[in-house]
Structure 1
Amino acid sequence: MFSSIRKFISRNSRKFAIGGAIVGGLVFMLKYNQYKLNEWRRQEVQQVLQRTRRNQHFESTERSCAQTIMNLAGSIKSSVLKLLDSDTVINNLKNDSCDKITAWNHLKILSVSKSVAIIYANVMFVFTLKIQLNLISANMFKNSQKTEEILEFNETVQEKYLTLCSHFMEKGIHTLTLYIKQKVEEVVNSISLTDKLSIRDLELLHWSIMSSIIADETNNPIKNLTKYMLLTTVDDDSSEPLNKIMTVTVDLLESDEAQSLMQSSVRSGFVLLIDRISKFFTQKFDNSGVAHSSDSNVKNILNGDVNTNSCSQVEPYFNLHEIKIPMAKLIPILNGQVQNLPSSHDIHSNWLQILISDEKLQTFSANIYEAFSF
C-alpha cells in the first residue's frame, strides 16, 4: 500500500509541486491583499483624522482672527477720527468762531474722507491680518505633525512676525488717511455747498475718488500695500524662518489674486456706503424733486445722531434717482457715517462684519492655510 502511494506521488510529483505553488501563491496573495487592505484602511483613517484636525484648527484660526480684528479695529477708527477731526470744525461752527463758508468746505472734505479712509483701512487691515494668522497657524500645524523640512516657528518668531503689522497702527494709517484726504480734496473741491446732488451723483463722486486712487501707481494703497502695512526691514540677526515667512507674506500681499480681491472689496465698501446714504434721500421733497430736511434734523445729524428710521418714506411712484439734496445738507449725513462713540450701526462696524464673513476672503484664507499646512 505504501509502495503504491509512493509510486503515485512519484508519478505526479510535478503536479503536486505546481499545485502546491499555486495554493501557496493564492495564500500569499490573500494574506498580502489583507495586509494592504488593512494598511489602506489605516491610512484612510489617519487622513480623515488629520483632515478633521486641520479643518478644526483652521476654523479656530478664523475665529481667533475675527476676534483679533474686532479688538484692534477700534484703534484704526480712532486714528482716522483723530486725523480727520470734524468735531473741532463743528464746534467752531456752533460758536460762530470761524468763517462759515470756509469751515463748511473744510467739513465737506473731512466728512467724505472719513468714510473712504475707513473703507480702505479696514480692507487692508483685514486682508493682511488674515494672511499673517493663517500663515502662522499653517506652520504651527505643520510643526505639530513633525514633518520634514519645516520652519522652526517658535513663539519668539511668531511675536516678531506679528509685530510687523504694528507699523500700520503707528505710521501706515496716518500716511493712508492723509493720502486719501488729499485725493478726496482733489475731487470734491469742485462741488460747491449749494450744488444739488442725486444719489447717482454721489455714487459717481465716490467712484471718481476711487479711480483717482487707482490711477496713482506710486501711492495706491492696494498696489503698494506692504508700504503701508508692514515694516519690511528686520534686524540683521533675525532668524531664517522669520525672513522666509516675511518673503511669503509680501508675495501673497502683492499677488494678483489678493490685490484683485482687495480692490473688489473696496468697491463693495463704496456700494455699502451709498446704500446707507440713499436712505436719507427718502425724506420729504417738493414737486421739483428737491429733498428738504428741517433745520433740527440737520443739527441732529451734525451732532452724530444718525437714525435712518426717522426719515420719511418717499412716495412709491417717485424715482429715488430724481431726488436731489444740496451738498450743504449732505455733509452732516456723510459726517455721521463714522461716529465718534462706539456703535454697531456706523459704517466702520458694519463694514468690518461684512469683511470678516466675506466668502471670497474666507476661501482665500483657506487656500493659504491648506497650501502651507502640509
Structure 2
Amino acid sequence: MGLLDFLKRHQRKFYITGAIVGGAFALGKFAQWKLAEYSDRVAAEEVARARKKHHYDSNQRTCKMTAIAMLPSLRERLFNALDTEALTTKLKSSPENKILTWQELKTVTFARFLSSVYACCLLISFLRVQLNILGGCMYHGEMQTGSSLFHIFTEVHKEYLAVVQYFLGPGLTRLIDVVQSKVQDSIGSVSLKEKVDVADIERMIATARQAIEVGSIEQADDTATTATSASADAHRSLHPLVTFLLPPESNGGTSEETPDQAESEDVPSISPDAQAYITQLMGHTRDVLESQDFKSTLSACLDCGFQFGSTGLAESMLTPSVDHAAAKIPLARVVPILNAQTHGLFAHQGDGVVSSVMSLELLNQFSANVYEAYSHEISFE
C-alpha cells in the first residue's frame, strides 16, 4: 500500500518527468534526422560540384585540343594566301623588277604576321565561346532525367561546331584582304633601307593594328546605316573583328559552304528539333560575341598574341654582342626575321602563341563564366 500511495502522491511528477524525457528523446531523434539530411545534402552537393568541375575541366581540354587540331589548316590557308616563299624564290631568280618584288615581300610578310596573330586569337576565343556554351548546355541536359533535348545533342554538336568553318573560309579571306590593304596603307611607304630597331617595328605593327581595327569598325558602321538604330548600336558594341567570325544574320546564321564541304555530296540532313536548337544556339552565340566581356577578352588575347610575337622578334633581332639600346638594322633584314617569327607562332608544343593566349587568366575566367551561365536552365523555345 505504501508504494501505491507514493505513486499516487507523485504521479504528476512522473508524468512531467516522462514528458520531458520523451520530448528530449524525440527532439534528439529529430535532430539526428535533420543532421543526417543535412549531411546527405552537403555530400550530394559536393559530388555534384566535383562532377561539374570534372566536366568543365574536360571541356577546356577539348577546347585546347580542338584549337590545336585546327592550326595546320589555318596555317596552310594563311600561308597560301600570303605566299612569302614564292616571292623569296622569285627574288633569287634576279627579276627585272627586283625593288617592286622586295616591296611586295615586305608588305606580304607584315600582313602574314598580323593575320596570323589575328586568326589564332579569333579562333581560340570563338572556340571557347562555342564549346563552353555547348558544354554548359550538355551538362544541364545530363542533369535533367528524361530531358527532351539530350537525345539531339549528337546532331547538334557536329552541326553547331561546323559554324567555325565560316571563319576558316570566307571570314579568313575577308580578314586577310583587310589586313593586307591596311598594311599597304600604313607600312608600304617605309623604305627597305631605313634602319629600325625593335621599338620601331612594334610602332609599325601598332599603327597597322589601329588601321585594321578602326577600319573594321567604320566598315561595320557603314553596314549598319541601312539597319535600325538598335542594330547600329549592336554593331558599335561589337569588337571590330567579330564580323569575321559569323556569317551575316541574313544567311540564317549558318555557315556558308566551304570547298571541303562542297566535295561531299552526301550531306545528311538533321532533324527539325536539332535545327531549331541550333538556331537558338546561334542566337545565344551572337549574344555572347556582342557582349562587353567578349570584347575585353578578345582585346586581351590580341595584346598577348602580339606581345608574344614582339618578344620573339626582339630575341631574333638582338644578339649578346649588340648594344640593345642602339641596335638598328635595315628594314630589309627584318623581313626574313619577321617571316621566321610568323612560322614560330604556330608551334603547338607549349612554345606557340596558342599556348600563350590559352594561359590568359582573363580568357579562362571568361570561359568559366560562359560555361556556368549555360549549365543552368536556358530558354530554348
Change over 3 Å in CA distance of 1:349–1:114 after alignment to 2: farther
Q: Does 1:344 align with 2:347?
A: yes
Report the Cα offset of residue 96 of structure 1. Answer: 2.1
Q: Does 1:223 align with 2:239?
A: yes
Conserved in 1, the CA contact under 8 Å of 2:196 and 2:329?
yes
Q: Name the amino acid aligned to 1:201.
A: D
Between the aligned partners of 2:363 and 2:339, the Cα distance in structure 1 is 29
Does 61-70 or 362-371 show the bigger shift?
A: 362-371
Change over 3 Å in CA distance of 1:339–1:229 after alignment to 2: same
Between the aligned partners of 1:258 and 1:35, the Cα distance in structure 2 is 48
SS of 1:166's equivalent in the other structure is helix
- The Cα offsets for residues 182-226 of structure 1, whole Å up to 9 and x where unpaired, read as 111111023111211121111111111122233231458971454
Does 235-244 or 19-28 show the bigger shift?
A: 235-244
Change over 3 Å in CA distance of 1:218–1:158 after alignment to 2: farther
Change over 3 Å in CA distance of 1:98–1:48 after alignment to 2: farther
Report the Cα offset of residue 12 of structure 1. Answer: 5.0
SS of 2:343's equivalent in the other structure is coil
Match of 1:64 among 62, 65, 74: 62
Q: Which has the larger radius of gyration?
A: 1
Q: Name the amino acid aligned to 1:195.
A: E
Q: Name the amino acid aligned to 1:188.
A: I
Could you state the TM-score of these two structures normalised by the residue count of structure 1?
A: 0.81
Conserved in 1, the CA contact under 8 Å of 2:197 and 2:328?
yes
In the other structure, the counterpart of 1:254 is 290
Between the aligned partners of 1:147 and 1:8, the Cα distance in structure 2 is 65
In the other structure, the counterpart of 1:299 is none
In the other structure, the counterpart of 2:134 is 136
In the other structure, the counterpart of 2:226 is none
Change over 3 Å in CA distance of 1:135–1:185 after alignment to 2: same
In the other structure, the counterpart of 1:313 is 320
Report the Cα offset of residue 14 of structure 1. Answer: 4.7
In the other structure, the counterpart of 1:127 is 125
SS of 1:223's equivalent in the other structure is coil
Does 130-139 or 210-219 show the bigger shift?
A: 210-219
Report the Cα offset of residue 72 of structure 1. Answer: 0.7
Conserved in 2, the CA contact under 8 Å of 1:81 and 1:114?
yes
Structure 1 runs not aligned, ≥5 long = 283-311
Structure 2 runs not aligned, ≥5 long = 221-234, 255-270, 377-381
Q: Name the amino acid aligned to 1:321.
A: A
SS of 2:342's equivalent in the other structure is coil
Conserved in 2, the CA contact under 8 Å of 1:142 and 1:150?
no
User: Identity of paired residues, percent?
Assistant: 27
What does residue range 160-199 of structure 1 map to in structure 2 within 5 Å? 160-199=159-198
What does residue range 1-374 of structure 1 map to in structure 2 within 5 Å? 1=1, 5=4, 12=10, 14-146=12-144, 151-152=149-150, 154-216=153-215, 217-219=217-219, 223-231=239-247, 232=249, 233-234=252-253, 237=272, 239-282=275-318, 312-315=319-322, 318=323, 320-339=324-343, 344=347, 350-374=352-376
SS of 2:352's equivalent in the other structure is helix
Q: Name the amino acid aligned to 1:360.
A: L
Between the aligned partners of 1:211 and 1:106, the Cα distance in structure 2 is 21
Change over 3 Å in CA distance of 1:48–1:101 after alignment to 2: same
Change over 3 Å in CA distance of 1:344–1:27 after alignment to 2: same
Change over 3 Å in CA distance of 1:257–1:321 after alignment to 2: farther
Does 9-18 or 353-362 show the bigger shift?
A: 9-18
- The Cα offsets for residues 244-266 of structure 1, whole Å up to 9 and x where unpaired, read as 32222212122111111211221
Conserved in 2, the CA contact under 8 Å of 1:225 and 1:253?
no
SS of 2:94's equivalent in the other structure is coil
Q: Name the amino acid aligned to 2:310.
A: I
SS of 2:239's equivalent in the other structure is coil
Conserved in 2, the CA contact under 8 Å of 1:123 and 1:266?
yes
Between the aligned partners of 1:345 and 1:43, the Cα distance in structure 2 is 44
Give the CA RMSD over aligned residues: 2.9
In the other structure, the counterpart of 1:303 is none
Between the aligned partners of 1:173 and 1:63, the Cα distance in structure 2 is 25
SS of 1:337's equivalent in the other structure is helix
In the other structure, the counterpart of 2:258 is none
Give 4+ residue runs of structure 1 displaced > 6 Å after superposition.
147-150
Between the aligned partners of 2:278 and 2:34, the Cα distance in structure 1 is 42
Using CA pairs under 8 Å that are at least 6 residues apart, name the structure with larger relative contact order, 1 or 2.
2
